[in-house]
């Protein structure tokens, strides 16, 4: 069982992974709005929210405390480079939503297979989500190989300078029963990433 069940789950209770000799890793998170203004990803059945619009709403709500960027200029790579260079970010969360058949629900976070530091933070975030939403389905951390879902995005984030790269799909945007209002979800993101 993770330490985070006993302690303040928004702050990792132990440092994980050495980031140089005698130095431990402390994440400085950046939030990435998924998709682009031109191709906005999956939508709610009423078309009110696309993944892009939803993510933008979350980003703007948390802008005072959580650095964010989007993929409109230079894709994931451009977003992460700007966050790393001007906001000192070393950990990124690209905040997608899942979609399937309007009925399935649940939360999962993708990272690159073998990236143990990223996996550690993915598990912490899912544990915090489980505490906040005990009745929701936790689909778990999915470790992606080359060619897998999200792999290229994650690889681009790492190549652009992120030590931790995660791609979240915390609920199904096409399932009204799984949907979370933007302001409520933005508070959760702030709790776990700030």
Residues binding Zn ion (CB under 5 A): 34, 41, 51, 96
Among all residues, whose Cβ is closest to Zn ion? 96
Least distance in Å: CB of 172 to Zn ion? 11
Least distance in Å: CB of 49 to Zn ion? 12
Question: What single DSSP character describes residue 24?
Answer: B
Least distance in Å: CB of 51 to Zn ion? 5
Mapped onto helix, strand or coil, the DSSP state of residue 30 is strand
Nearer to Zn ion (CB atom), residue 71 or residue 119: 71
Nearer to Zn ion (CB atom), residue 30 or residue 34: 34
Least distance in Å: CB of 132 to Zn ion? 22
Number of H helices, E strands in the chain: 5, 6
Task: Answer yes or no: are the C-beta atoms of 173 and 54 closer than 8 Å.
Answer: yes
Please measure the distance between the N-terminal and C-terminal CA atoms of the chain and give it in whole angstroms. 23
Cα–Cα distances (Å) from 125 to 2, 42, 49, in that order, read 11, 23, 23
Task: Answer yes or no: are the C-beta atoms of 80 and 128 closer than 8 Å.
Answer: no
Nearer to Zn ion (CB atom), residue 27 or residue 34: 34
Nearer to Zn ion (CB atom), residue 4 or residue 174: 174
- What the block records as the tokens of 99 is 């979609």
Least distance in Å: CB of 131 to Zn ion? 25
Return left, alpha or beta for 104; rule: phi > 0 is left, psi -120 to 50 is alpha, else beta.
beta
Nearer to Zn ion (CB atom), residue 19 or residue 142: 142
């Amino acid at each position: 069982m993770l330490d985070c069940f006993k302690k303040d789950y928004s702050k990792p209770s132990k440092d994980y992974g050495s980031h140089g000799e005698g130095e431990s890793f402390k994440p400085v998170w950046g939030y990435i709005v998924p998709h682009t203004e031109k191709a906005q990803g999956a939508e709610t059945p009423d078309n009110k929210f696309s993944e892009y619009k939803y993510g933008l709403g979350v980003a703007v709500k948390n802008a005072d405390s959580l650095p964010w960027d989007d993929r409109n200029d230079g894709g994931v790579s451009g977003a992460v480079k700007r966050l790393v260079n001007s906001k000192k970010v070393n950990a990124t969360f690209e905040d997608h939503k899942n979609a399937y058949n309007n009925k399935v629900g649940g939360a999962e976070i993708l990272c690159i297979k073998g990236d143990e530091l990223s996996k550690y933070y993915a598990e912490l975030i899912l544990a915090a989500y489980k505490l906040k939403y005990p009745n929701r389905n936790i689909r778990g951390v999915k470790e992606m190989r080359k060619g897998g879902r999200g792999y290229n995005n994650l690889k681009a984030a790492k190549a652009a300078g992120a030590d931790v790269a995660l791609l979240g799909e915390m609920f199904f945007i096409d399932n009204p029963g799984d949907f979370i209002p933007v302001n409520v979800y933005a508070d959760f993101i702030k709790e776990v990433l700030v």
